[in-house]
Structure 1
Amino acid sequence: MDILVIGGTRFFGIHLVNELLSAGHKVTIATRGKASDPFGDKVTRLILDRTDRETIKTAIYWKKFDVVYDNLAYCSNDVRNVLDFAKCERYILMSTTSVYDKHLETKEGEFNPIDETLVWCERDEFPYNESKRHTECALFKHYKKMPSMAIRFPFVIGEDDYTKRLYFYVEHAIKQIPMYIDNLGCRMGFIRSDEAGKFMAYFADKDFTGYINGSSDGVISIKEILDYVETKTGKVAILAADGDQTPYNGEHEYSINTNKAKNLGFEFTTLQDWIYELVDKYIELAKD
């Protein structure tokens, strides 16, 4: 298959491209041309600015793809700026579980983008979760004739996580920097970056349309992670009301139901099988 990946030069986008190449697909990546990538001559490259409608039109208008993966659509206008010009058989949107009012066992049907009012907007006009709702609404309501799907991930983490959100906690504990955590015991869901890429690639040649959750099995709290850091290093995290605000503050306890994906044949890893190995690597990094 001939596949375009928008946002394939870092984090789970790299894993997505590698999975697609391993499956024998022909891959084109859309990039601003400013960042290097590890693919060499295995991919074709298009130069565009994801926020500039005219550069998108110039880059893709005369191209045809079987599938377009869009990892960089953060608002409804982002979807419009691609689908007004893209000639493709399917469009796959990287979305987020932030579209939900999350709780334990959050299921796909709890947010139906068709029920939303269509709002054309830019990235900075709404909070992230609301903007992604508008993104999905634009896709499924305005471009309803396009076979498409939205893949909803919780927090994506890994050694290559450029946001360093989970690392933030480990580093602060190791370096004894005070931090303020408002949800210490709340259990949350995660997915590892390579698994996120694998899950997205799984649907390249599938007929599934609609929206679907992707998450590693299980949940973990920040308290469990910090307790592990203390056990491994003897460092007790300093918690203080005037400490640094932590990245996952404001999140409530939740888990993500992935039965729909499992019924389609995808098997997720178990969070507890790999999370502590990742924390070990973060510990060593924080010690440097």
Structure 2
Amino acid sequence: MDTALIVGGTRFIGRHTVRELLDHEYEVTIFNRGNHENPFAGNDRVTHVEGDRNDETALETAAVSVDPDLVIDCIAYYPEQVRAATEVFADARYVYVSSGSSYGVEHVPKREGETPLEACTPEQATDDSPATYGARKAEGDRAVFEAAERGVEAMAVRPCIVYGPYDYTERLDYWIDRVLNHDRVVVPGDGQHLWHRVYVGDVASALRIVGESGTAGEAYNVGDRQLLTLEETLETIAEVAKTEVEVVTAGERELATGGLSPDDFTLYREYPHVMSTAKLSDLGWESTPIGETMARTVAEHEESDRDGAEYDPGREAEERVLGVLDTL
């Protein structure tokens, strides 16, 4: 297998996936609308085909011109997109980037084939609000399973919260910025809650490995082997940045003194979200050590202009909470 087509490919998961494939001697074609800067422009092993993934004729043209062995679909957000892609690329091995949000029950850990998926109504399948994201991703998984029943070598990979270089969501960037610029940082609750995360490079390697060795009709979770609480995350950021930070935990009552609530803080989740990665590991996939992934993430953050400001609950409000806690 040496020819791959990436639907997407220039921003975050797709960008790292192209690099992963290049490192494993693939010839890569990126298929997208060209709305974002192409970091691989000038690379003679990466071809760009411009087209809208919602235009089935454009997909068919790409399928014929590229004739890929492997298709990795990074930007399928609606189940109909998955159904169309598995029809058009029926002769290739197809990997759908799903999500840990597709799980519909709070089990710890969530396991493929055991933990139920979100239901998805016809209305949810075409809705574009964040509230239906998990339902749409779950229906995309079911489209993959249906395609496999027709003989298509289609598989799904379910990442949890993805972090790493070039993360345009900036969720972790907020916390990195806090640690790098403040000696004391407020964390909601007791700081011990768990929201499983995964390094973007490990998502890329999972997509390649599943594409090469996965079983048609199966889904594979991908997440860091070592889970960090939010407090441990901030401490790890400080360690790799060679700085110090005091993590100050605050309950609902203390946060309220600053007009805040736990949900005002990004990457906070009251109930733990943990996914088993044993099934993926059985294919030979390995997670990169957390110190290494965080060091890469912090280093790239410092070179970028991202600060996660859209998630900032307000430093003045945070200072009010710190002042109250100092009097207790």
Normalising by structure 1, we get a TM-score of 0.82
**What secondary structure does 1:84 align onto?**
helix
Asked if 1:245 is matched to 2:264, the reply is yes
Relative distance call for 1:245 and 1:45 in structure 2 (3 A) is same
TM-superposed deviation, 1:116: 5.9
State the partner residue of 2:208.
201
State the partner residue of 1:95.
98
2:52 to 46, 49, 52: 49
- What does 1:95-174 align with in structure 2 at a 5 Å threshold? 95-100=98-103, 101-111=105-115, 119=122, 121-124=125-128, 127-141=132-146, 144-145=149-150, 146-172=152-178, 174=181
Unaligned runs of 5+ in 2: 308-328
| Maintained 8 Å contact 2:110/2:274 | yes
**What secondary structure does 2:29 align onto?**
strand
State the partner residue of 1:2.
3
TM-superposed deviation, 1:149: 0.7
* RMSD across aligned positions (CA): 3.4
1:225 to 230, 233, 247: 233
Relative distance call for 1:168 and 1:207 in structure 2 (3 A) is closer
TM-superposed deviation, 1:284: 8.6
TM-superposed deviation, 1:79: 0.9
Indicate the larger mover: 60-69 or 274-283: 274-283
- Aligned partners of 1:140 and 1:178: how far apart in 2? 45
CA radius of gyration, larger in = 2
TM-superposed deviation, 1:84: 3.5
Matched letter for residue 5 of structure 1 = I
Unaligned runs of 5+ in 1: none
2:289 to 259, 270, 273: 270
| Maintained 8 Å contact 1:30/1:46 | yes
State the partner residue of 2:276.
257
Identity %: 26
How many residues get paired?
285
Relative distance call for 1:133 and 1:106 in structure 2 (3 A) is same
TM-superposed deviation, 1:183: 7.7
TM-superposed deviation, 1:112: 5.8
TM-superposed deviation, 1:44: 1.9
**What secondary structure does 1:212 align onto?**
strand
